[in-house]
Every structure is written in C-alpha cells, then in structure tokens.
Amino acid sequence: MAAIELKNVVKRYGHGKHELQVIHGVNAEVADREFIVIVGPSGCGKSTLLRMVAGLEEISGGEIWIGGRVVNDLEPAERDIAMVFQNYALYPHMTVFDNMAYGLKIRKMPAPEIKTRVDKAAGILELGHLLARKPRELSGGQRQRVAMGRAIVRQPQVFLFDEPLSNLDAKLRAQTRLEIQKLHRELGITALFVTHDQVEAMTLAQRMIVMNAGVMEQFGTPEEVYHRPASTFVASFIGSPPMNLLKNAPGARAGTVLGIRPEHMDVGQTGWQIRVETVELLGAERLIYGRLGDEQVIVRVEEGGPSPAPDSIIHVAPREDRLHWFDAASGKRV
C-alpha cells in the first residue's frame, strides 16, 4: 500500500474568459493504509478530485503523489491503483470468477496465481459459492462485491471508490458498509472513498475531506468534523438533522452565527421560547420542529413523555458547553 499527497491541486476547464475553475487548491496528506472519505453535495468536485488521483482527469495545477512519486503525467495503468465505480461494470456473459480474473488474464498472469488470488478475494467477500454464476443471477449487493473483488485481486497500492453504494437500497448499503470496513481491516488498504451521504462518511471514515464548491472546507476525523465544524457549511452538511444555525438567538454576538446541535438542547421550564410547528416520531427519539422568532429550530429528544402540540410553546435550554460560533460574513468558525 502507499501514502497519497495532494499539493495545491487545481482543476480548470476551458480557457480565457470561458475558463471555469472547479477545484481550488486542495492540500491533503493521506497516510499509508488510511481510509479517507471525500464527502460533499452533488457538483462539489469530489468525484473530479478522485478522478484526478486515478489519472482519468488531467490536473491543471499542483502535484499528486502516490507511494512517494509524482504521478501527474502517469497513465492510470501506471499509477498502481484500482477503482470501484457506482456502476458495477461487470461483463454479463462472464462468470463471477472470470469477471474477477479478467484483468489478471490480460496481464498474462499464470493461471494458478490467478486462481489463488480470486479464491482469496472470494473468501474475504463471501463470494466463494457464487463463482460459477453470471451477473444476472446476483443481487445488487453481490454484484458490488464482485466489483470490489475484481479490484482486490489486482493487489494495487491504492483503492479508489466512487459512490459505490449509491445503487443499493438502504438495507444493502448498511450491510455493504460493514463489509467495506471489514475489508479495510483485513487488507490494510489505502483508500479514498467518495460519497454524498454524510452517514456513509461518518461510519466509514478514519478521516474525512468535506468539499464545498471545489474547496476543501475541513479535513479531520468524524468526531472533529461533527463536534468542531470549521464552517457553517460543514455544520449544516454533517449531521442528521443538521446543526441549528441562528443569527438572532438570545445572547448571540454581533456579526456572528450561533450553532447548536438538536441533541444539545434540553426541554424544561426555562430557556428559549420555541413555538412548535410539528413533531416527527422516529422510534427511539423524536424531532421537534419549531420557531424561535423567525428562525427555525430543531430539537431532538428521547422517546417517552407527551409530545408537544402544534402551536404550543416549549422552553429549551441550550447547553453552554455545546455552543458554536461562526463569523456571519465568511461562515468560518470563530
């Protein structure tokens, strides 16, 4: 495996007055065997960044290092990476075994070595009993595991995942997340994983890059990003429901935005007066949506006790040690 380093990486399309810059100087160091998730909304540049690492997109500026060498001018095949896409891209006329072995056959690897590698990968991914089947005979989750197996058998330095779970339903996504975590533990792979799903990012990442409009807003562990967001964008994007961001809350400082997570407010007899709009019951918890003046506030409470009625007034006390402050103009943490 290998470390990855991005040094002021830039991507532009077009020239002159038609030039459009979509990646704005990303700097990041990924340690050997680290699992990094690149997360952000659609169009933020996360897949473009991944494709530049893969060599599928040329970079407009900066350097990309993989395993201690600059790879800017290397073809994808020369970078010793393997990529798993949202589209499984399996050959429908080939068996699972042949799909996994195809790249090795092209490289003219000896048949015994191919079988050893495929059998090992199939064992890790619990595909051993499916090796003789065709893709049409597999579920979506099984097809995605075959795609991952095809990458594993190559034994590359780096694994790149481009939204590989997007085509799966919620249950299969959760199951496959666990399989990817297990895969990382067993293989010790260096990996970049792109997703727009902040739940995937929080559960998979050792560290995460949060992208917004081509800018790396924050690079840190899930705990750091959740508990100390670097900007109002990160605060609103990471967390479900998102952090409350209030400009006119009681006690708010001039020129700042106050942030408080829904679970860090206590319903009681004192505190902010919230007019209830609606309540969502979510099994073990409930979400109270209300208004503090003209701003919406979401409060998360555990199940039990009566639900407040719409248009009723409740009092919520934000926990002082859980307040976040952001500059109103720049959105950056202060």
CATH of the domain at 320: 2.40.50.140
Whether the CB-CB separation of 13 and 19 falls below 8 Å is answered with: yes
Shared domain check, 103 and 34: yes
pLDDT for the residue 174: 87
Residue 14 lies in a domain: yes
pLDDT for the residue 173: 85
Shared domain check, 141 and 11: yes
Using the structure block, give the residue that is written with the tokens 């199951």: 175
Shared domain check, 197 and 270: no
User: What is the enclosing helix (H) or strand (E) of 122?
Assistant: helix 111-124
- Of 237, 228, 245, nearest in space to 298 by CA: 245
The Cα 36–Cα 208 span in angstroms is 5
- Of 256, 206, 197, 224, nearest in space to 39 by CA: 197
pLDDT for the residue 126: 86
Shared domain check, 56 and 29: yes
What's the domain count of the chain? Answer: 2
More confident residue, 247 or 251: 247
The Cα 35–Cα 189 span in angstroms is 7
Shared domain check, 125 and 187: yes
Lowest mean pLDDT among 17-21, 199-203, 322-326: 17-21
Q: Is the dihedral of CA 177, 179, 180, 181 positive or negative?
A: positive
* Containing structural domain, residue 315: 241-254+262-327
User: For 276-281, what is the mean pLDDT?
Assistant: 94
pLDDT for the residue 1: 62
Residue 282 lies in a domain: yes
User: For 293-309, what is the mean pLDDT?
Assistant: 89
Residue 332 lies in a domain: no
Shared domain check, 248 and 222: no
User: For 145-155, what is the mean pLDDT?
Assistant: 89
Give one DSSP letter per residue of 269-280, joined into a string: SSSEEEEEEEEE
Shared domain check, 184 and 104: yes
More confident residue, 103 or 298: 298
Shared domain check, 307 and 159: no
HEC string of 169-212 equals CHHHHHHHHHHHHHHHHHHCCEEEEEECCHHHHHHHCCEEEEEE
Q: Which amino acid is at 240?
A: S
Residue 195 lies in a domain: yes
Q: Please, which residues have CB within 8 angstroms of residue 188's CB and are 6 or more apart in sequence?
A: 1, 33
User: What is the enclosing helix (H) or strand (E) of 145?
Assistant: helix 140-152
Shared domain check, 308 and 201: no
Residue 298 lies in a domain: yes
**Res. 186 pLDDT band, cuts 50 70 90:** confident
Residue 274 lies in a domain: yes
CATH of the domain at 108: 3.40.50.300
Q: Please, which residues have CB within 8 angstroms of residue 144's CB and are 6 or more apart in sequence?
A: 84, 88, 164, 165, 167, 168, 176
**pTM (predicted TM-score):** 0.90
Q: Please, which residues have CB within 8 angstroms of residue 228's CB and are 6 or more apart in sequence?
A: 220, 324, 333
Within 233-302, strands assigned E span: 244-246, 256-260, 265-268, 272-281, 285-292, 295-302
Shared domain check, 205 and 117: yes
Shared domain check, 225 and 270: no
Shared domain check, 247 and 185: no
pLDDT for the residue 306: 76
**Res. 16 pLDDT band, cuts 50 70 90:** confident
pLDDT for the residue 171: 84
